[in-house]
Structure 1
Amino acid sequence: MTYQLLPTGKHVKHLPTGDVIPFDDENKDYVIYSEWLSAGNIPKPAEAKETYNRYTGRGKFDLFTPEEQRAIAGAAMTDVDVKLFYDRFTIADYITYDDPEMVLGLEFMAQRGFLTPERHAAVIAEMTR
């Protein structure tokens, strides 16, 4: 099989490369995946995972590049929605991908342009491996 659904319900993994592809019609890899599905192919089912990696302290921030960290922290000074996410992220004892707020926060950061689609997928791949 070429693809595997992920437990997030919003991503698929391209097995030969390990790339995580968000369900986004503007993502070229998702378009290729959609065409693959249309051809009658079936992805491997998601594997149930009881827990995801936990990130604490500085490890939370290390998921993001220094440039991403600066962009988010800088925007938190002028955008109340970014500030709310940043504050909750900063004070959390740990983060994990099975927290719905983390999932929404990552999507929010991607929508605001702080994470490219590729980096968004890479952060999810790291958190769900």
Structure 2
Amino acid sequence: MIYKLLTTGKHVKHLSTGDIIPFDDENRDYVIYKEWLSAGNTPEPAEVQVIYTRYTGKAKFDLFTPEEQRVIAGAAMSDVDVKLFYDRFTIADYITYDDPEMVLGLEFMEQRGFLTPERHAAVIAEMTR
């Protein structure tokens, strides 16, 4: 492949030269690109980078219902593993779903019965939208 689409949807990259070509019929390189497409060629697809929402401060806790928060905080008083997760969650500047500790923490909370499978899925859906 000679070309790669860019995520802007308004440019393509020529892979041999590194040139970024705007989608503009007055641009000679774009005309050549369209001819290349007309000949049955296909550009490399754009790489889609997912950027997850960062939850900070109170927003971290608002991912969970008040009852879930109470159960987890209560369990942290008597279960060292829950306390470790709770403390790390509390002191984190922010949380995102792409953090492996967050993913494992949510699985842990479901395994311990602090989150139902449905609530676990709902939290993931919220964090990945």
Distance 1:49 1:114 in 2: 32
Runs of 4+ in 1 over 6 A off after TM superposition: none
2:75 matched to 1:72?
no
Higher relative contact order (CA closer than 8 Å, sequence separation 6+): 1
Measured after TM superposition, the shift of residue 48 of structure 1 is: 4.6
Bigger radius of gyration among the two: 2
Query: How far apart, CA to CA, are the structure 2 residues paired with 1:95 and 1:103?
Result: 10
- For the residues of structure 2 that align with 1:48 and 1:69, how far apart are their CA atoms? 34
Structure 1: tracts of 5 or more residues without a match: 1-46
Alignment of 1:1-129 (within 5 A): 48-129=48-129
- RMSD of aligned alpha carbons: 1.2
Could you state the TM-score of these two structures normalised by the residue count of structure 1? Answer: 0.62
Q: CA deviation digits over 1:95-127, x for unaligned, max 9?
A: 000000000000000000000000000000000
How many percent identity over aligned positions?
88
Q: Distance in 1 between matches of 2:113 and 2:49?
A: 29
Unaligned runs of 5+ in 2: 1-46
The count of aligned residue pairs is 83
Q: 1:54 to 1:117 in 2, by over 3 A?
A: same
> How big is the shift at 1:51?
1.5
CA distance in 1 between counterparts of 2:49 and 2:89 reads 23
